[in-house]
Structure 1
Amino acid sequence: MTTSHSLAAEGLTLGYGDRAVIASLDLAVPPGRITVIVGANACGKSTLLRSLSRLLAPREGRVVLDGREVHRMPAKELARTLGLLPQSPVAPEGITVLDLVCRGRHPHQGAFSRWNARDDAAVAAALEATRTTGLADRAVDELSGGQRQRVWIAMALAQQTDLLLLDEPTTFLDASHQIDVLDLLTDLNRTRGTTIVMVLHDLNLAARYADHLIALADGRLHACGTPSEVLTEECVRTVFNLESRVIEDPVSGRPLMLPIGRHHVRAAPPAASGR
């Protein structure tokens, strides 16, 4: 269970070259919950996730896991606690689905430990959960975009970490498979207590599945809290430069954002003629 793990950013400033992307950001990830990061394109969502997983070193500040700076932890030790599914990962040419998913067990292998029945069970469970068992012998580069995405998620699940970070895990998936993946992650959170942090583009899916919502704007934390606290018309206007109406989702009871386009505002009926 991950209620014993804490992940936080303290005074985090991130960037590439001369360009700053995230500035002086402080946040704490609620343990054992589902956190979703939202924001406009190029606001720093993926950059933040990369730093939380130590793929990107901060210019200032630090990322702390259980009181230790992640950038000072041994890579394999960190990988046994924290897993990452990056955006648009690339598989080695010709690798099969089974071999790729088995790589999720690498952090659990050591000089004195060899592949065992527990590893087999973890891989089989990950394939079954993502409905990719039937693809096990296929080459990854022969699969459709949606199939590949489910295979990458299977690899992340096989790692069996207490914290799981995912950058746009519903990319390439149709509506049905998006719901399948988000339901799967919710089940993982509810049954194992896995702390999940993910980036999603779809605000309404974010509001439906998140326990904790983080909204970024121009590299800064604009709002964080429950979906009802964060997904407001003011937030959508500020973060996305979009006018909207936010109502209660009749299915989930969570906030539901209805965008207002310039050409879809209901016009007033014509005035009645006096004739």
Structure 2
Amino acid sequence: MTTSHSLTAEELTLGYGDRVVVESLDLSVPPGRVTVVVGANACGKSTLLRSMSRLLAPREGRVLLDGKRVHRMPAKELARTLGLLPQSPVAPEGITVLDLVGRGRHPHQGVFTRWNEKDDAAVASALEATRTAALADRSVDELSGGQRQRVWIAMALAQQTDLLLLDEPTTFLDASHQIEVLDLLTDLNRTRGTTVVMVLHDLNLAARYADHLIALAGGRIHASGAPAEVLTEEMVEAVFGLRSRVIEDPVSGKPLMLPLGRHHIRPEPASAGSASSAGSGAPEPAGEPVR
């Protein structure tokens, strides 16, 4: 159970070349919960996940798993506890779905440990959970974008880690499969206690499925906490530059963001005694959209 694991970042600064993407960031992932990271494009979401899974070394600061620096841990030791589904994974040419999902078991193999029934069961369970069992013998190259995404999720599930980081797991998925995958990850969290951290673009899906919501802006944490505390009209405007209305989702009870395009905002009605309605009997001009 992941309630015994802690994942934190301390004074974390990340970047590429001369460009700093994340700066002096402190973060503590609530164990055994679903955390969702949101933010505008290029704000550092994917970069943060890459560093927390040790794919990107920090310029300053550190990432700690149970008090150990992840960038100093043996690869297999880390991979038995923490799994990552990156944003754009690339499969080896010609590999079948079954073989790719089976690679999720690699961290559990050793010099004296061979493939066994437990590995077979983990792969079968992952294929079944993602509804990709019928694709097992097909080449990954032949699959649609949505099918591939579900296969990659199956590989991450087969790894059976206590912490799972997913960068935009609903990419390429239609609305039905998006809900299916997010329900699956929620079930994994509720039944196994798996700590889930994922990046999502859809604010409303993020609010619906998150126990803990983090809003990034300019490589820093703008707000974090329960969805009702984080997803506010003020946050949406500050982080995304978007005017909105936030109401209660009638299905989940979580906050629901309604974007306000400037051509869809009703103008304020003129008051009866206003200057525009007084004087001549000329008709009033149509109200201008609020800007």
TM over 0.5: yes
Task: Quote the Cα distance in structure 1 between the aligned partners of 2:256 and 2:269.
Answer: 27
Task: Quote the Cα distance in structure 2 between the aligned partners of 1:199 and 1:163.
Answer: 14
Structure 2 residue 66 is matched with structure 1 residue 90: no
Higher Cα Rg, which structure: 2
Which amino acid in 2 is paired with 1:104? G
Structure 2 residue 244 is matched with structure 1 residue 244: yes
Which amino acid in 1 is paired with 2:21? V
Which amino acid in 2 is paired with 1:105? R
In the TM superposition, what are the counterparts of 1:22-171 in structure 2 within 5 Å?
A: 22-171=22-171
Task: Quote the Cα distance in structure 2 between the aligned partners of 1:151 and 1:58.
Answer: 30
Q: 5+ residue gaps in structure 1?
A: none
Task: Quote the Cα distance in structure 1 between the aligned partners of 2:141 and 2:214.
Answer: 34
Q: CA deviation digits over 1:124-169, x for unaligned, max 9?
A: 0000000000000000010000000000000000000000000000
Task: Quote the Cα distance in structure 2 between the aligned partners of 1:19 and 1:162.
Answer: 33
Task: Quote the Cα distance in structure 2 between the aligned partners of 1:261 and 1:238.
Answer: 16
Q: 5+ residue gaps in structure 2?
A: 284-291
1:194 aligned residue: 194
1:228 aligned residue: 228
Q: Secondary structure at the match of 1:263?
A: helix
Percent identical pairs in the alignment equals 84
Task: Quote the Cα distance in structure 1 between the aligned partners of 2:184 and 2:266.
Answer: 39
Q: CA deviation at 1:268?
A: 4.8
Task: Quote the Cα distance in structure 1 between the aligned partners of 2:57 and 2:223.
Answer: 24
2:266 aligned residue: 266
- Counterparts in 2 of 1:268 and 1:238: CA distance versus 1, 3 Å: closer
Count of paired positions: 275
Which amino acid in 2 is paired with 1:120? D
Q: Secondary structure at the match of 2:84?
A: strand
Q: CA deviation at 1:267?
A: 3.4
Q: CA deviation digits over 1:62-109, x for unaligned, max 9?
A: 000000000000000000000000001000011000000000000000
Task: Quote the Cα distance in structure 1 between the aligned partners of 2:2 and 2:260.
Answer: 40
Task: Quote the Cα distance in structure 2 between the aligned partners of 1:129 and 1:256.
Answer: 28
Q: CA deviation digits over 1:195-254, x for unaligned, max 9?
A: 000000000000000000000001111000000010001100100000000000000000
Q: CA deviation at 1:274?
A: 9.0
TM, length-normalised to structure 2: 0.93
